[in-house]
Amino acid sequence: MINRAFVEKLYDKLYKLQGEILRRLTKAGMDMVGFEGDIAMQHSLIMGPDTWRSVDKPRLAKIIASCKKINNDVHIGTPEDCRKEAITYIEWCGQSGGLVLGASNSIGYDVPVENIVAWYEAVRDYKF
């Protein structure tokens, strides 16, 4: 990295802004918030792993921790939380039919199997 001090200062400002946006959305009751960045290409990071760990990761961790304090995510909730969320989505979004429920484009490795089963069973057993 040619000018690490500049990058650190720029990232501090960018992550502060992004963190504030996500915290406000979380406080407003958004069901899910997310953020992304262009950190990788098809086969590798665009920077060395050590640089990512020392520059991006601490800032991302800080944002995630601050949002979790406001509202924890269902993927770390209980199976009952997952059942309730599935029913909530069906009732909010499925009133006119055509609802397809899924877990984005993948289910995270850290989601407890019991939560996946609870979600599936709630959808399967729901009386449309």
pLDDT, tens only, 79-109? 998 898 888 888 888 777 777 776 666 777 7
Nearby residues of 92 by Cβ (< 8 Å), 6 or more positions away: none
CA distance 75 to 82: 8
pTM exceeds 0.75: no
Render pLDDT for 20-54 as a digit per residue (tens, 0 to 9).
888 888 788 776 666 666 777 778 888 888 988 99
Output DSSP code: residue 100: -
CA distance 54 to 74: 29
What pLDDT is recorded for position 52?
A: 85
CA distance 116 to 106: 12
Structure token digits, residue 30: 């958004």
Residue 66 has pLDDT above 90, yes or no: no
